[in-house]
């Protein structure tokens, strides 16, 4: 799961138009949850006929079809204009991107908290099924109803999104899932619990699919798979931590009390919409590489692209009455500089010329600075234009490379 999702989700995104992405994500959820609905029954028949080993063998063989489809897929080639990244550098770049992207941090925090509480129902479902009916059939039926509900929820999700905002649909799905968890804490009838799990599956796929779509829409191409890997880490980590926590609560106070707490917590996370609102998905992440590269002296620029670090300075002339607004805009723009590659950033005022400000930032290498040029998007244009709004003359940019010995 941890290794396949960062690859599979961009595959879904790259093969769909942006406006079709929610439907494509829901379709992906349909096939997964349809398998969840019918899989336990088919596996039970196969195990009864040929043993447990045959079920695992057939599951392994089924991946051959996926491998063949992916191997034959020929995406449009993308021309690389920057040096390739190392594994370490790419990992650091992804962590840095998430750190300096408030919208992605908000989304990860919100989804992580929701999943911590929502994990209680699925984590305790085997024990709940055992209490209701001491038979593997009960668990298979409840899990199948959950999967079937997810399929129905995916079919209804597009209609809901056409009427309400993403925030309203996600919050509604989370609230419904919390209510089904509360119902599961008191119901002990298999038919009643089957209906509850059907509704829970419908709510689950709604907020889960939309969380995934938001991650895909908030990360540009160059870092999308890496941001998805971090998202998966947060998501699965929350599920693991929540499952362990609710299992411990159930062991001490009973399954009913654990599901009650998990349900109340899940519903309570809808209050996060007041201060952790889901980010806007209309940002244009098209590359906006408009920075001019310096005219370099052949003797000054090393042949090794990884030579560095590189110090970049930008001089601005700003009127005194607009200094406060300029500094606010520059600090906002500084976040973008750090997000895209700067290790350190600062803004300074010239003591001999009160109208002169110097922005400085350090990048690890010349190659990383070239990548920094390529990582700007049209969504960043407003922040840069806001800075330039207060500048009275053309900014002066200088690039300096460290000559210190390594």
pLDDT along the chain (406 residues), means of 10: 53 58 62 64 72 81 80 71 83 94 93 95 92 81 85 82 87 95 93 94 88 86 88 92 96 95 96 86 79 68 70 94 95 94 94 94 91 90 92 91 74
Residue whose C-alpha is closest to residue 363's, from 114, 176, 49, 93: 93
Tell me if the domain spanning 310-401 has CATH number 3.20.20.105: no
pLDDT for 2: 47
Q: How confident is the model at residue 15, as a pLDDT? A: 58
The SS3 call for residue 352 is coil
Phi, psi for residue 311 in degrees, rounded to 5 = -105, 125
- CB of 383 closer than 8 Å to CB of 371: no
CA dihedral 361, 363, 369, 374 (to 10 degrees): -70
Q: Does domain 5-274 have CATH number 1.10.238.10?
A: no
Kindly give the pairing relationship between strand 310-317 and strand 356-363. antiparallel
Q: From CA 315, how far away is CA 118, in angstroms rounded?
A: 51
Per-residue pLDDT at 247: 95
Does the model's pTM come out above 0.95?
no
Task: Say how far apart CA 296 and CA 203 lie, in whole Å.
Answer: 58
Ramachandran region, residue 254 (left: φ > 0; alpha: ψ -120 to 50; beta: rest): left
φ/ψ (deg, to 5) at 362: -115, 130
Specify whether the CB–CB gap between 309 and 363 falls below 8 A.
yes
- State residue 255's pLDDT score: 94
Q: CB burial class (10 A; 0-12, 13-18, 19+) of residue 343? A: middle
Cα–Cα distance for residue pair 200/320, rounded to 1 Å: 59
For residue range 279-294, what is the model confidence (pLDDT) as tens digits?
766 678 888 887 777 7
Angle at 178 between CA 174 and CA 184, to 5 degrees: 145
- β 396-401/342-349 pair status: unpaired
Q: How many CB atoms lie within 10 A of CB 233?
A: 14
Q: What is the pLDDT of residue 57?
A: 85
What is the reported pLDDT for 153? Answer: 86
Question: Residue 293, by phi and psi: left (phi above 0), alpha (psi -120 to 50) or beta?
Answer: beta
55 φ/ψ sector (left φ>0, alpha ψ -120 to 50, else beta): alpha
Distances from the Cα of 265 to the Cα of 140, 234, 246, 254, angstroms: 27, 18, 11, 17
| Residues with Cβ within 8 Å of residue 50, at least 6 apart in sequence | none
**DSSP code at position 392:** S
- The per-residue pLDDT for 239 is 93
Amino acid 62: pLDDT = 80
Domain residue ranges of the chain, discontinuous segments joined by +: 5-274, 310-401
């Amino acid at each position: 799961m941890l290794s396949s999702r960062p690859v599979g989700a961009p595959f879904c995104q790259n093969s769909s138009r942006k406006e079709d992405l929610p439907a494509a994500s829901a379709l992906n959820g349909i096939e997964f949850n349809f398998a969840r609905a019918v899989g336990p029954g088919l596996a039970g028949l196969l195990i009864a006929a040929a043993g447990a080993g045959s079920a695992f063998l057939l599951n392994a063989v089924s991946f051959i079809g996926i491998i063949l489809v992916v191997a034959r897929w020929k995406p449009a080639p993308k021309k690389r204009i920057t040096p390739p990244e190392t594994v370490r550098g790419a990992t650091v770049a992804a962590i840095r991107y998430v750190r300096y992207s408030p919208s992605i941090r908000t989304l990860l925090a919100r989804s992580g908290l929701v999943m911590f509480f929502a994990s209680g129902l699925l984590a305790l479902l085997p024990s709940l099924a055992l209490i209701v009916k001491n038979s593997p059939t009960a668990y298979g039926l409840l899990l199948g109803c959950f999967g079937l509900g997810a399929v129905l929820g995916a079919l209804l999700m597009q209609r809901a999104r056409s009427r309400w905002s993403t925030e309203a649909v996600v919050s509604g799905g989370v609230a419904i899932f919390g209510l089904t968890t509360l119902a599961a804490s008191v119901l002990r009838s298999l038919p009643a619990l089957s209906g509850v799990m059907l509704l829970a599956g419908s709510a689950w796929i709604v907020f889960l699919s939309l969380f995934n779509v938001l991650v895909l829409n908030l990360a540009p191409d160059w870092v999308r798979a890496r941001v998805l890997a971090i998202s998966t880490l947060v998501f699965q980590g929350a599920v693991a931590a929540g499952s362990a926590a609710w299992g411990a609560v159930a062991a001490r106070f009973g399954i009913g009390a654990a599901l009650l707490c998990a349900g109340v917590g899940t519903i309570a996370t809808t209050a996060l919409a007041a201060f952790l609102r889901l980010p806007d998905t209309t940002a244009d992440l098209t590359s906006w590489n408009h920075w001019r590269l310096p005219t370099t002296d052949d003797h000054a620029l090393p042949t090794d692209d990884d030579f560095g670090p590189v110090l970049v300075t930008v001089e601005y002339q700003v009127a005194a009455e607009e200094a406060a607004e300029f500094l606010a805009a520059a600090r906002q723009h500084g976040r973008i500089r750090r997000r895209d590659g700067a290790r350190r950033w600062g803004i300074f005022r010239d003591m001999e010329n009160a109208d002169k400000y110097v922005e400085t930032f350090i990048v690890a290498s010349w190659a990383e600075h070239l990548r920094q040029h390529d990582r700007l998007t049209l969504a960043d244009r407003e922040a840069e234009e806001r800075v330039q709004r207060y500048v009275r003359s053309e900014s002066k940019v200088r690039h300096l490379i460290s000559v210190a010995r390594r």
